[in-house]
Structure formats: structure tokens, C-alpha cells
């Protein structure tokens, strides 16, 4: 999450978003009319009638009602505001607000945790504490560049102010970074409160500053961590936050660093955790005051048991989704293994049930901003969203199709909703032969078959899935599909398994294999069988005893093309995601008592017809 987002956040006017626009001269320029210009709307979109270089840029510090650095004073959020100069003539404008911990860069030597460790066995002392290198770069402070954004000129030209807020403990803000903690949400929310007249702010000299140029209508937008903060602030129900655009955003931090009791990394960041991220973004001038706070994060995040807890519950925005009043335009990549698709799926499902205006964009890239994928259409979409909910122009955007999706062939389509109407769970059953390729079909297998694998965390999931046979995984495959099969939603599997040891990882894969033999892992799922009853607590495993273990796959929207096969693969450790104990843990699968369910458009009937 860290390096990818830092690059995205640091882009400085990299894209000419106002190219081809013509700007009307501000009223009074070269004449006697002193009335400020106003916004112009055509076809439900705000038009580029303001000069994005004729602006006012200010710095203020907003008082947040929290003292996360424990210095006896309220935390201060550093805010940079950028607004059309016409606001000095009395024009009041809505705000597009981006909150971020990345504006001041990061500390690249905030080392990740060691993941080559044994798994936790309660009472046996395994899976012990592994600290991180606490050294961080001292090269912080000093002259600061202006905060800016690739969208800045685009919004300014259309009559929006752009506001940047530095998360607590970062840049010129006080307070401490806590990676999704309550103080972080309060800090970001306080900026909305200031923009709507409910919070105090001061300039560098300590004089009070009011946002008397703000209309009181605020939208939040950003990518990754910068997209997560809109979810956090919206979940407070703060008045004045009218719309959010979370892109590649987290909805629950537990689901970013854990999976049903298993310690699971975000893609490409093996060993990262909440404390590592907090150390990375800890860029305020005082390099000592937050160390005790971050040390507490390291202890409370619990990389030993992986259990859910009050600590993680504080960082679960779904708990307060019923407070969301902002219109939600959500964007996610169907190949994003950093912020996995679990996050968009559960957040979108929740706001959809809540009944607030909602729309979803899904694309085939990974952890990415749609600006670089479908620039013109995306800008129209986000313009109409903010025009509708910040300027209150009735353009009907909320009544249009709720899903815009890019398919595997890179074509784009609009659909009514997600998951696609008509999708429902369809069952697949396993047959013997999994050490090579067992059967995967629509009819239950008869008889009894128990098949086993031995964990080897040194081998990647991809290599195990592609192996013709292996003692380290079990694989089951359908016949060649006669017609395309579309998945839309979350798959799951109910396993009947026993273990040779009291601790083991469990990893499941859903694989697409083409007629040329090439494969793609469509989805993954992970669990700790010691959390088979609840993610909240560990229940010991007795070796040799068979247990029911449920595993959810990361939700997807994916089309298995005609002529391909669908494969289910069971392994133990996932080299690129889970902790990696020494090889040897055994898993035995009761094949005929295992049920795989995949969300197929057309349900069981469509699946049977295609197979």
C-alpha cells in the first residue's frame, strides 16, 4: 500500500486535465463590474469557466477534538486550501477535499515484519513477537513543497475549491498516526467541520481563520489510503459531507492485514502491518513523541493469534455505515491484490442496503486511479457526481445504471447493479484424484475419499496450481466449458479437514485454465482453522480430528471463457500472503464432504449447461 500510494499522491499536475478548455475572464477584469463570476452547468456538468491559475492558496491549522500525542493540547490538522480568486469577491464554492498521510512522503526504512515464523499454538509459545526496525529517516522537516494533485486544475476551473488535509502525525500536523484509529478519523472529520463553520482554525501566526468562502458542501476523494479516509469520515455521519469517491479504498483494516484469524499481507507487501504503516507515515517534525503510541499499535495488533479484537473493531468502518449520508461513487480494480476486492464488495453492499445514492466502477487494472485508464469518461462521471451532490444540480446521475464495468477484453459496459441481477450461488463438488487433478463437477461424488497434502511455504501458489501433480496441494478441475460462465460476487467453500499439527494455514484458490494450459488465479481465500468458530477467538485444533472449516474467497466479477476449465486448489501456506512456517504440516481433506459454491449469473442451471 505504501509505495504505490506515495507515487499516486506525489503526482504534481501530471495530466493536462484542462487542456482544450477556454476560461471566461473573471467579472471586473478590465472593466467596472465587480460581481464575482459564477459556475456554469451544461448537460449536468460544471464547465471550465474559471482560470485555474488565478487562485488563492492558504495554509491553516484546524483544531481537532482529540489529543493523540498526549501532550495535553488538542491535535492540529494542517490544511492547505486552494480556491478560485473569485471567492475573495464573495463567491462561495463547494469543496473537493483530499485527506492523506502521504503529502510529506514517508520513511522507507520502516521495516516489515519477518514472516518466516512458526504459527501460534496456544500455550506452546510458538509464533512469538517479532519486532520491526524502529529507525526512521531523520530527513524530515525543512522547506515544504506545495501540496497539489492531478485533479486540482480540473476542479478549480469548474468552480470547486480543493482542500488538502494532512493526517495526524504527518507533515505539518500534530498528533500521532494510528493507521485507521479513531483519532485519525476525528482529525479528517474536523476539516469538514471547519469548512461547514463548526470547528476552529488558525493561521501560522495563531490568528483565527474562517472558511467564509465555503458553501458548506463538501466531497471527499482519493486513492488507497486517501480513498479510505472518505469511508472513515462518511461513517461518522458528519453534516456537510455530501459525496465521497473512495478509489481502491479500505472498508475494514482487519480485512487489509488479516483474514479470518490468519495473518495475511496486502499484495506485494509481505510483512507489513498497522505499526509498519504508522512508522512509514510518521513525518511530523517531532520524531519522538509518537513512538510510545506506535509501540502500542505493534503490541495490540497481535500478529501471534491473528484474532479480531476491540482494537481492530475500532478500525472497521462497516460498524457505523448506517450513519453514512454522503452519496457514494466507489471505484476498484478487479485485479487489486493490495486492497483486495473484499473491501469494495462489503462497503458497496452496505451503502446499497442503506439506500444512499451509489454507483460502482470496476476495472481490470490493479491498485489504480481510473484517470489513467479511461480519462474522459471518468472525468465526466466524477464531474456529474460532484455537480449533482455539491452544487445540487438535478442531472439525474443517481437514476442511471449503478455499475460501470470493464471486461477482460478491456471493453466497458453499464449494468443495472452489482452483483449482477440474476447471479446466485451454484454448487460444485469434488471427486478423488487431487494430488494430480481430481474431478470438479455439478453432481455430488459418492463413496468416501480422504486426500492429503503437506505444507511447503517456500513454493508459490502459482507454481503449486500449475504443477501436474504435487504432494503440497490438492487440485480439482471441471471439464472444458461449453459456454462462458460469469461469476459476480463472493464464492465460498465448506471444507471437512483434519490436521497433523495443532496449527496450520489454510489457503484456497479458484483458477481459470485456458486451452493452452496457461492459468490465472481468479480468487484466493485464507483462514486459520483455530478461528473456525469465530474470528474473535482462538479455539485449539486437535491433530487427527476432522473439523468443518468455512473459507470465503475474495469477491470477484469474472468470466470463464468457453473452452476453459475451472479449478479449485487447496494448499496450506500462501508464500506471498500468509506467515511461512517450516514445511511439514499436513492437511487431510474429506473430498466427498466438501462443497464449493460460486456466484454464477444464471445460477445452477447456467453452470450445468456450460459444463
Closest CA to 540 of 508, 566, 504, 506: 504
Concerning whether 423 is annotated as a catalytic residue, the answer is no
Catalytic residue among 69, 172, 255, 336: 336
Question: What is the SS3 assignment for 455-496?
Answer: CCCCCCHHHHHHCCCCCCCEEEECCCCCCCEEEEECCEEEEE
3-class DSSP state of 316: strand
Which burial class, exposed, middle or buried, applies to 544 when counting CB atoms under 10 A from its CB (0-12, 13-18, 19+)? Answer: exposed
- The Cα 506–Cα 561 span in angstroms is 28
> CA 490 to CA 334: how far, in whole Å?
13
* C-beta separation of 280 from 106 below 8 A: yes
Distance of CA 11 to the CA centre of its chain: 20
Catalytic residue check, 452:
no
Catalytic residue among 358, 367, 564, 575: 367
Is-catalytic flag, 336? yes
- What is the rounded CA–CA span in Å between residue 103 and residue 147? 7
Cα end-to-end distance, the chain, whole Å: 39
Contact between residue 86 and residue 40 where contact means Cβ atoms under 8 Å apart:
no
Which residue in the list 150, 153, 190, 224 is annotated as catalytic? 224
Strand 358-363 to strand 403-406: parallel, antiparallel, or no bridges (unpaired)?
parallel
528 Cβ neighbours under 8 A, 6+ residues apart:
119, 260, 261, 262, 306, 505, 506, 538
Pairing of strands 565-571, 438-441: unpaired
Within 100-239, residue ranges assigned H as helices are 152-157, 182-195, 225-234
**Catalytic sites, residue numbers:** 224, 336, 367
Amino acid at each position: 500500500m505504501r509505495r504505490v500510494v506515495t507515487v499516486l499522491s506525489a503526482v504534481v499536475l501530471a495530466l493536462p486535465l484542462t487542456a482544450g478548455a477556454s476560461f471566461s475572464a473573471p467579472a471586473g477584469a478590465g472593466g467596472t463590474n465587480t460581481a464575482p463570476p459564477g459556475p456554469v452547468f451544461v448537460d449536468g456538468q460544471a464547465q471550465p469557466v474559471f482560470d485555474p491559475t488565478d487562485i488563492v492558496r492558504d495554509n491553516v491549522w484546524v483544531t481537532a477534538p482529540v489529543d493523540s500525542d498526549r501532550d495535553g493540547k488538542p491535535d492540529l490538522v494542517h490544511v492547505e486550501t486552494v480556491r478560485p480568486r473569485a471567492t475573495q469577491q464573495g463567491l462561495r464554492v463547494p469543496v473537493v477535499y483530499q485527506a492523506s498521510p502521504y503529502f510529506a512522503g514517508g520513511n522507507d526504512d520502516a521495516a516489515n515484519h519477518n514472516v518466516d515464523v512458526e504459527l501460534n499454538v496456544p500455550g506452546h509459545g510458538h509464533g512469538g513477537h517479532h519486532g520491526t526496525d524502529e529507525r526512521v529517516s531523520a530527513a524530515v522537516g525543512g522547506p515544504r513543497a506545495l501540496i497539489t494533485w492531478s485533479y486540482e486544475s480540473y476542479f478549480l476551473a469548474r468552480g470547486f475549491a480543493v482542500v488538502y488535509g494532512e493526517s495526524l502525525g504527518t507533515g505539518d500536523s500534530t498528533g500521532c498516526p494510528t493507521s485507521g484509529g479513531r483519532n485519525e478519523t476525528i482529525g479528517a472529520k474536523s476539516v469538514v467541520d471547519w469548512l461547514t463553520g463548526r470547528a476552529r482554525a488558525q493561521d501560522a501566526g495563531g490568528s483565527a481563520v474562517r472558511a467564509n468562502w465555503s458553501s458548506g458542501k463538501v466531497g471527499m476523494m482519493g486513492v488507497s489510503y486517501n480513498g479510505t479516509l472518505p469511508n472513515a469520515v462518511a461513517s461518522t455521519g458528519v453534516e456537510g459531507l455530501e459525496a465521497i469517491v473512495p478509489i481502491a479504498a479500505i472498508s475494514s483494516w482487519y480485512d487489509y492485514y488479516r483474514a479470518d484469524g490468519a495473518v495475511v499481507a496486502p499484495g506485494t507487501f509481505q510483512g507489513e502491518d498497522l505499526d509498519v504503516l504508522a512508522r512509514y507515515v510518521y513525518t511530523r517534525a517531532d520524531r519522538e513523541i509518537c513512538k510510545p503510541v506506535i509501540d502500542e499499535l505493534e503490541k495490540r495488533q497481535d500478529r501471534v493469534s491473528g484474532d479480531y479484537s476491540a482494537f481492530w473493531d475500532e478500525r472497521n468502518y462497516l460498524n457505523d455505515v448506517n450513519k453514512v449520508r454522503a452519496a457514494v461513487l466507489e471505484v476498484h480494480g478487479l485485479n487489486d491484490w493490495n486492497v483486495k476486492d473484499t473491501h469494495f464488495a462489503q462497503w458497496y453492499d452496505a451503502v446499497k442496503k442503506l439506500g444512499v445514492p451509489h454507483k460502482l466502477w470496476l476495472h481490470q487494472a490493479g491498485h489504480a486511479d481510473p484517470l489513467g485508464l479511461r480519462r474522459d469518461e471518468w472525468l465526466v462521471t466524477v464531474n456529474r457526481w460532484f455537480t449533482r451532490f455539491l452544487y445540487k444540480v438535478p442531472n439525474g446521475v443517481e437514476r442511471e445504471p449503478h455499475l460501470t464495468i470493464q471486461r477482460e477484453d478491456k471493453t466497458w459496459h453499464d449494468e443495472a447493479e452489482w452483483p449482477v441481477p440474476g447471479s446466485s450461488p451454484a454448487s460444485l463438488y469434488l471427486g478423488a484424484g487431487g494430488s494430480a487433478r481430481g474431478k470438479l463437477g455439478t453432481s455430488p461424488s459418492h463413496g468416501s475419499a480422504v486426500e492429503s497434502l503437506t505444507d511447503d511455504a517456500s513454493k508459490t501458489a502459482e507454481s503449486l496450481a500449475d504443477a501436474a501433480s504435487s504432494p503440497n496441494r490438492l487440485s480439482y478441475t471441471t471439464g472444458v466449458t461449453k459456454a462462458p460462465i460469469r461469476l459476480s460476487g463472493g464464492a465460498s467453500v465448506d471444507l471437512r479437514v483434519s490436521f497433523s499439527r495443532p496449527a496450520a494455514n489454510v489457503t484456497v484458490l479458484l483458477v481459470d485454465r485456458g486451452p493452452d494450459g496457461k492459468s490465472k488465479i481468479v480468487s484466493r481465500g485464507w483462514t486459520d482453522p483455530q478461528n473456525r468458530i469465530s474470528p474473535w477467538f482462538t479455539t485449539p485444533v486437535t491433530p487427527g480430528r476432522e473439523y468443518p472449516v468455512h473459507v470465503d474467497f475474495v469477491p470477484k466479477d469474472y468470466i470463464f471463457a468457453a473452452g476453459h476449465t475451472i479449478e479449485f486448489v487447496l494448499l496450506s501456506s500462501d508464500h506471498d500472503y500468509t506467515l511461512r512456517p517450516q514445511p511439514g504440516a499436513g492437511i487431510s481433506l474429506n473430498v466427498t464432504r466438501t462443497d464449493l459454491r460460486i456466484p454464477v449469473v444464471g445460477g445452477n442451471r447456467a453452470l450445468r449447461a456450460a459444463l
